[in-house]
Amino acid sequence: MRVTTLSFGFLPDGREVMLFQVECEKGMQISITNYGGIITSLKVPDRHQQLGEITAGFDSLVDYLKPHPYFGALIGRYAGRIAYGNLSVKNGVYQLKMHDDYCHLHGGDTGFHTRLWDYEIDKKDDEIRIHLSYLSPHGEENYPGNLTVRATYVIQDNNSFSIEYEAVTDAPTHLNLTNHAYFNLRGFRDTISDHQLQVNAYQSVELDEHMLPTGRLTDCSGTLLDFQKPVLLCDRSIPSEFELDHCFVVQNPNSDEIPAAVFYHEPTGRMMKVYTSQPGIQVYSGNFLDGSLKRNEEQQFFKHSALCFETQHFADSPNHPHFPSTLLDKGEVFKERTTFRFEYVE
């Protein structure tokens, strides 16, 4: 496998942005930039060894400098919603910037997805590690504590990649990191309704009418949110009538054998398996995509053209003390890991 480092252009303040392109012997090709830690492109083989682009993104930096719905980006400091922007930390409540009338979302407008990360590359025979690091200063987006974050993309020659997150802080704060890649295993020619979805969860985080957690977990067995066995999405009129933007409680976090979710497209044979150490997985069916963004004429990002698998802690955990904690204290080390594995079924 090999990695090529290229210039991806310059930020308005003159800093250079890099693009890392990795090619695996088994076929997978992935491109990652240190701007926002964004996966700009991901190509995997189908059952006829044809490579296809399966993630939403752009080929040039300028498109990422305009507003976009977090395509492929690292999200922080807090992925998901924080109700009314109230961040309760041990010694106080911090008012975060509001995304709308009800919440702070995805770390705010100048969240990690807009930051230029430092980088370092380690190359071994069957593994390439792209280390991205960022120091988020105390007060950034009004979060407390100087936070040092490291996100490492570990690309393996078996057509898989992991993201390993690590962070330390010099004062108590909350942290919830994810990657916001959008997937369509057919390559954005149609909606994801001909894909199958399996989620290893029998509970989801109950939401109120503003998409904020109520604090309860609900049993999804036998409901529209039951994906314990693979479901062909169109059989449930998903996402045409019932849209997904739900957080599932992962049954076997940390398992290398039992995926948290499986996404499969029978016509091409492409299959993606997601493994994670995190307690939740937000599954989102591109409900806010509207076709105004495109990579090129063949790949336009229209409503419901993708599914996101955002492995994370539950939204608004700082305000629900019985949820798995997102508090990071001075002296603690935050660690999480998510793996995406690609296969094809003959």
Run of H or E including 151 = strand 147-156
Block residue for tokens 């990002």: 301
| CA–CA distances in Å: residue 75 to residues 106, 210, 214, 236 | 6, 21, 23, 30
Q: What distance in Å separates the CA atoms of residue 229 and residue 264, rounded to the nearest whole number?
A: 12
- Cβ 260 to ligand GLA shortest distance, Å: 16
- Quick check: 183 binds ligand GLA (CB under 6 A)? no
Does the annotation count 174 as an active-site position?
no
In the block, residue with structure tokens 């996404």? 263
If one asks whether residue 312 binds ligand GLA (CB under 6 A), the answer comes out as no
DSSP helix/strand/coil, 63: helix
Question: Among residues 141, 310, 336, 343, which one is catalytic?
Answer: 310
**Do 145 and 91 touch, CB atoms closer than 8 A?**
no
Which tokens hold the place of 346? 């003959």
Does 78 bind ligand GLA (CB under 6 A)? Our answer is no
**Residues 37, 57, 69, 145: which binds ligand GLA (CB under 6 A)?**
69
How near is the Cβ of 216 to ligand GLA at its closest, in Å? 18
Q: Is 284 in the site for ligand GLA (CB under 6 A)?
A: yes
d(CA 309, CA 190): 19
Provide the token pair at 255: 């398992």
In 3-state terms the chain splits into helix, strand, coil percentages (rounded to 5) of 5, 45, 50
For ligand GLA, the closer of residues 160 and 285 by Cβ is 285
Q: Among 5-13, 17-25, 51-59, 281-289, which window interacts with ligand GLA (CB under 6 A)? A: 281-289
Region from 10-18, 131-139, 249-257, 280-288 binding ligand GLA, contact rule CB under 6 A? 280-288
Question: Shortest CA distance to 250 belongs to which of 228, 215, 281?
Answer: 281
* Residue 149 or 308 with smaller CB distance to ligand GLA: 308
* Partners of 139 in the β-ladder: none
70 touches ligand GLA by CB under 6 A: yes
Rank residues 41 and 282 by Cβ distance to ligand GLA and give the closer one: 282
Which residue lies nearer to ligand GLA by CB, 156 or 178?
Answer: 178
Contact between 282 and ligand GLA by CB under 6 A: the answer reads: yes
**180 is known as an active-site residue:** yes
Least Å distance, CB 62 to ligand GLA, is 21
Of the residues 68, 106, 113, 180, only one is catalytic, namely 180
Q: Which residue is nearest to ligand GLA (CB)?
A: 284
Identify which range of 19-27, 116-124, 196-204, 282-290 contacts ligand GLA by CB under 6 A. 282-290
Q: Does 245 bind ligand GLA (CB under 6 A)?
A: yes
Q: Return the half-sphere exposure (C-beta side, CA atoms, 13 A cut-off) of residue 111.
A: 31
Phi, psi for 251 (deg, rounded to 5): -75, -40
- CA–CA gap between residue 261 and residue 161 (Å, rounded): 15
Binding site for ligand GLA (CB under 6 A): 69-70, 105, 245, 282, 284, 288, 308, 310
Residues labelled as active-site residues: 180, 310
